[in-house]
Amino acid sequence: MYVALSTLWVVLVTITLAAAGVILLLRDHRSVDGRTRLAEVRCQPVRTDHLQVELVSSPSEAPERHDLAGDACVIWVEQLEVRPGFAILGVRALSRIDRVGDAAVAAGNPESLSPRGFVARFLARRLTDLVVRRSEAVRVTIPADAQRRVVVVSSGVGPTLEHTSS
């Protein structure tokens, strides 16, 4: 009897720790339900072959600024399709702005919670694979126009751009 209860306890603790780990790893992603706003982006030329990208993920956050070389602003949107069992929780897809040009966007996870070392990253990847069915990075090109902001919207088919006024 004690062996069965101990085994059940170990299984429940393992499931709870795995769920907490996945929540920590995926907390900077947004749940995609229909058309979901990811960020507002402005791409403005600074000088010849040099652009500045201003990225606002949330109205309450300060804008992030990235300097890029080239004639077009490129951002990368990471889209995750979660496994069917998680549809019960109302989560079918997750998305986030992953990179601007070659630079990674600041994640919601503080550095102290980010996996370090090969073994930690390997275990973190295996843990996320329990939840994530498919992952893809989609390249989105933002037109260079200092007067216009573009809203990056994610949906089931992929990221799209919506133009807004300045």
45-102 tens-digit pLDDT: 888 888 888 888 877 888 888 888 887 888 888 888 888 877 777 778 888 888 887 7
Dihedral over Cα of 115, 119, 122, 127: its sign = negative
**Residues 112-131, mean pLDDT to the nearest whole number:** 66
Q: Write phi, then psi, for 154 (nearest 5 degrees).
A: -105, 145
Q: What is residue 117's predicted lDDT score, i.e. its pLDDT?
A: 64
Is residue 9 over pLDDT 90?
yes
151 pLDDT more than 50:
yes
When the pLDDT of each residue in the chain is averaged and rounded to a whole number, the result is 78
Helix segments in the chain, DSSP class H:
2-26, 117-129
Q: Is the pLDDT of residue 7 over 90?
A: yes
Mean pLDDT (whole number) for 155-166: 69
The residue-averaged pLDDT of 133-157 equals 80
Mean pLDDT across the stretch 101-118?
58
Q: Mean of the pLDDT values across residues 4-9?
A: 92
Domain range enclosing 141: 2-164
> With bands split at pLDDT 50, 70 and 90, how would you rate the model's confidence at 109?
very low
Q: Which two tokens stand for residue 126?
A: 């295996």
Domain count, the chain: 1
Q: Hey, what are 53's tokens? A: 């990208």
* Overall pTM > 0.75: no
Kindly give the residue spans of alpha helices, DSSP state H, lying in 29-84: none
